[in-house]
Structure 1
Amino acid sequence: MSFAGLNTGNNLSLYAVPAAFGLALAPHVYALALVTLNKPPGAKGFDFSFPPNTRKGISESRLSPTDQERYLRAEAANDNNFVGLGFFAAAVAVGNVARLPTAVLNRAASVYLTSRLAYNLLYILGTNNAAGLARTVAWFTGSLSCISLFWEAGHKLAPL
């Protein structure tokens, strides 16, 4: 079977790890663009010498309050994505070592990537409790996809 030019009958789970890295980095790239492209003339932009200064000084950036909030939300999403990236990579590695079925590996990787995309959008654009709850569901969904790989690998590798 093919989807977007990819043969989904092949094990694509290892390719999902760099894709997850890209999804983890995407909010930071968005935040960088927001601060760089939307800053008023004469205002400070992104501080490449010490990036945390940009977060500390965002209220003095003269960006609109909406852009300031989106910047902070994007950076928070970026931070959370990188916290979970190692867990996902380890789950994929363990699943491959256990030689889990390709369908199981691809499904878990797809669920993780989709949930992280939803998480990013909900974190950056969501400004109410409903969006926060949906973001939490997206986070749990991605985490559970990782846990499922560890669980399946444990069953397969456990001595009988």
Structure 2
Amino acid sequence: MSNTPLLMLPAATAVAYAPHFIRGFIVIYYTKKWNNISPRGQLEKVESRMTKAGWAMAKRAEGAHTNGIETLPVFFGAVLAALHAGVAKDTVSFYSTFFVASRVVYNIVYILNTNQLSALARTGIWTAGMVACFKLFLAAAATKY
């Protein structure tokens, strides 16, 4: 599909925000409440009403969300630079789809992470996604437009 790279932009956004909602569901599961007046500070306020494991999972979901937001500008820039420079759409489609897929796996591994091995896997997955972005930047830089 020729519009795949552009479709990956909202897909990446959705994947970046998914852990935010997962965190909310975890909090609601353990506390049966949600404070929408001050949602950013809610996790610290409810720690004593959650199990240690539940709170830790919610904290990891929050971390996955923050990391997703931090990587979005790099991804958007890479895709838009590649498209603007005229990089082959198949190439941009491959790397943009790879990035989004890596972020889905990253979120799962991050949220479920409970040991050093899965933490190392998370870092490897993050690295693979960022390499895809840099491949797009390099491909854009290599074109003559």
1:153 maps to which residue?
140
Whole-angstrom distance in 2 between the partners of 1:144 and 1:58: 38
Of stretches 28-37 and 16-25 in structure 1, the one that deviates more from structure 2 is 28-37
The structure with the largest helix share of the pair is 2
Whole-angstrom distance in 2 between the partners of 1:71 and 1:100: 40
CA drift at 1:54: 1.2
SS in 2 for 1:97: helix
SS in 1 for 2:119: helix
- Deviations along 1:97-131, one digit per CA (max 9) or x if unpaired, are 01111110111011101110111011100110010
**Structure whose CA Rg is larger:** 1
AA paired with 2:19?
P
Q: 2:10 aligns with which of 18, 27, 39?
A: 18
SS in 2 for 1:18: helix
Q: 1:113 aligns with which of 62, 81, 100?
A: 100
SS in 2 for 1:38: helix
- Sequence identity percentage: 28
AA paired with 1:39?
T
CA drift at 1:47: 2.7
2:81 maps to which residue?
94
Whole-angstrom distance in 1 between the partners of 2:88 and 2:3: 9
Structure 1 unaligned spans of 5+: 1-7
Structure 2 unaligned spans of 5+: none
Q: 1:29 aligns with which of 21, 24, 40?
A: 21
Whole-angstrom distance in 2 between the partners of 1:46 and 1:53: 11
Q: TM-score, normalised by structure 2?
A: 0.94
1:71 maps to which residue?
58
Whole-angstrom distance in 1 between the partners of 2:3 and 2:87: 10
Please tell me whether the aligned partners of residues 115 and 138 of structure 1 are also in contact (alpha carbons under 8 angstroms).
Answer: yes
Q: TM-score, normalised by structure 1?
A: 0.85
AA paired with 1:118?
V
- Deviations along 1:56-81, one digit per CA (max 9) or x if unpaired, are 22422x12221111100001100000
SS in 2 for 1:66: helix
Between Structure 1 and Structure 2, how many residues are aligned?
145
1:47 equivalent to 2:35? Answer yes
